[in-house]
A and B are shown apart, each in its own frame.
Chain A
Amino acid sequence: MANRSQIQARAAMMRVRFEAAGAQVVDPPLLQPADTLLDLYGEDIRARAYVTSDALRGEQMLRPDFTMPVVQMHMSDGAEPARYTYSGEVFRRQEHDPDRPNEYIQVGYEVFDRNDPAGADAEVFSLFALQLRGLPLRAATGDIGILTAAVAGLRTTDRRKAALMRHLWRPRRFRVLLDRFAGRKPGPEGRVSLLDADNVLDIDVPMIGKRRLSEIEARIEALRADRDTSPISDTELAGLETLLNVRETMPFALEQLRDVAVDLPQITPALDRLEARVASLQARGVNVDRLDFEAAYGRTSMEYYDGFVFGFYAEGRPDLPPIATGGRYDALTRQLGNGAEIPAVGGVLRPDLMLEIEEDAQ
């Protein structure tokens, strides 16, 4: 096992390489305000991050990742364009697997640049590939933006699209909603009679709680409107299903997705962006003919990414988490930007795992 100073030495070396690529070193605090993280990730973050508190500042979390503080810092006083690098500990609660560390070092690189998003995607990916050169790794890539575009362009109500969009990162829930909107699954028992009744709110229980009568009425109206909405068509449903199953090397994936775009023309601009990215990757010397692309990649684990996503995995070590992950998170800059936004892409590497794989190889 590599010791702590070896891991830190490797981290420092990688950070120097990112500096050489033009990044400025940043060092966000270990303690982060809990409410920002909770607002962003919801209750799930409590299962992953250590919470502490004092009487003055309230709840704080031990930094579970660098992305949020780096984005916040850039949005409040960063110059444009900007490239940042950092290295340091992140902390993750572990409740299921005692073999996974609850504290480890990440090295990261983040690009905030309005010009040439495809070029920035390729820049990040190729720099990461360079840092990882020689290790027995498999790279996976995807693009959340294609699925987002497909959903946004469905010929159905805005309400249905918003519901699907909200659960893009929860594939099971997404599937249930899709089946319902396609008329393949009935609603809960008693729903039909509830919606048919004239005086549904004539009930013998008191109104209690902060959710008001008007909100209940509004939802019943929405449910009625939804009942009268025609189902999502078989063509669109089949298109979505084909899209989610695309799993090929990059050029073939693009070809298959172009076929899907016959039924789902709304994804064409996203595919043009993918095509531009393929060209940019190629220009940076990445062998795209051997690079895997999965349309559903990143849907379960990478919640704030909304475009290009990638990860590097150890061949023959399925027990290890990814050695590096990253992606585009334009929407996150909007959420944390107080009205401002900027295209952003970046990722993190795990020096501890890199050293472990190198030891395995010897």
Chain B
Amino acid sequence: MSLKLGVPSKGRLMEKTFSWFEKRGITLSRSGSDREYAGKVEGIDGVSLILLSAGEIPRELAAGRIHLGVTGIDLVHEKLPRWEQQVQEVSQLGFGRADLIIATPACWVDVDTLDDLDAVAAAFRKTHGHRLRIATKYHRLVREFLTDAGVADYTLVDSQGATEGTVMNETAEAIADITSTGETLRANHLKILTDGLILQSQATLWRSRVANYDAADKAVLSQLLGRLD
């Protein structure tokens, strides 16, 4: 057996994760071609690299199929109810920073806060005969946030990509999505509510509380964690 480390399988998140480990003397790499999702670990024994989609890493951690995994705080909080009991945060990696926010059209000059959004939702429902639609892929986090804030008369519509475009296309009136610089929001004529910050996320290394650790795994884990400090 070996300690399984799950890492995002492509893009900047993978490259930055590789270089974060590299700085700590552990070399992660893809074995074989760029298209093959198998990995190699050098600089420490007893660890195997599993390349996965970032979105699947929370589930794999919660199922105990991997011992360690790198993915965003947003995805862990969204996909794992009671996440504290299933995973433990080992280290925030300092990249992949993004905020989960609620944004409305910039032309809504009368809307700055959740309070305004709630009032507008009530009027919108009366005028248009349906609830104000908020496009998102973070259903659980957004719903809990809005329930807590006492916003009513909205409905969530699923949007797995290009969420900022839904308002212009009139398939939603507002959005809840991840943003890092706000550039895409501005380009799509959207603005963030002043109290619309749901969560601050970044790439994070997590440890599964559910996975089985035999004596060898435990030894490797403590050696690995020692190197990461």
Contacts and interface: CB of A to CB of B under 8 A. Distances in A.
**Bind each other:** yes
B81 interface: yes
B106 interface: yes
B214 interface: no
B23 interface: no
A42 B194 contact: no
A228 interface: no
A211 B150 CA distance: 22
A194 B109 contact: yes
Contacts, number: 99
A257 B160 CA distance: 53
B40 to A, nearest CB: 38
Contacts of A216: 107-110
Nearest to A42: B152
Contact of B119 (A38, A46, A163, A211): A163
B109 A200 contact: yes
B82 A96 contact: yes
Contacts of B119: 163, 219
Contacts of B147: 44, 47
Contacts of A209: 105, 107, 167-168, 170, 173
B123 interface: yes
B124 A176 contact: no
Contact of B110 (A98, A189, A194): A194
Interface stretch (A136-144, A167-175, A248-256): A167-175
Contacts of B156: 43, 46
A216 B168 CA distance: 17
A176 B149 CA distance: 11
Which of B107, B140, B173 has the most A CB atoms < 10 Å from its CB?
A: B107
B122 interface: yes
B170 A220 contact: no
A211 B143 contact: no
Interface string B89-126: 00000000000000001111110110110111011100
Contact of B113 (A188, A200, A211, A215): A188
Contacts of A203: 106-107, 109
B128 interface: yes
A113 B198 CA distance: 47
Contacts of A194: 109-110
Interface string A213-230: 001101110010000000
A164 to B, nearest CB: 12
B189 interface: yes
A95 B77 CA distance: 12
Nearest to A98: B82
A98 B170 CA distance: 39
A163 B126 CA distance: 13
A173 B112 contact: no
A166 interface: yes
Contact of A190 (B106, B112, B122, B144): B112
B131 interface: yes
B166 to A, nearest CB: 9
A163 B147 CA distance: 17
A205 B189 contact: yes
A130 interface: no
B33 interface: no
Interface in A286-307: none
Contacts of B115: 176, 188
Contact of A188 (B170, B173, B194): B194
B155 A42 contact: yes
Contacts of B105: 205, 207-209, 211
Nearest to A172: B150
Given A209-B170, A219-B119, A166 B107 contact: no
Given A173-B118, A188-B194, A210-B170, A223 B110 contact: yes
A173 B110 contact: no
A57 interface: no
10 contacts: A38-B155, A42-B155, A44-B143, A44-B147, A98-B82, A173-B118, A188-B115, A208-B167, A211-B105, A219-B123
**Top 6 closest A-B pairs, CB basis?**
A173-B150, A95-B81, A205-B106, A170-B150, A210-B170, A209-B105
Interface of B: 81-82, 105-110, 112-113, 115-116, 118-120, 122-124, 127-128, 131, 139-140, 143-144, 146-147, 149-150, 152-156, 167-168, 170, 173, 189, 194
Given A205-B106, A219-B123, 13 more contacts: A46-B156, A96-B81, A96-B82, A98-B82, A167-B152, A170-B150, A170-B152, A172-B150, A188-B116, A188-B194, A209-B170, A219-B120, A223-B110
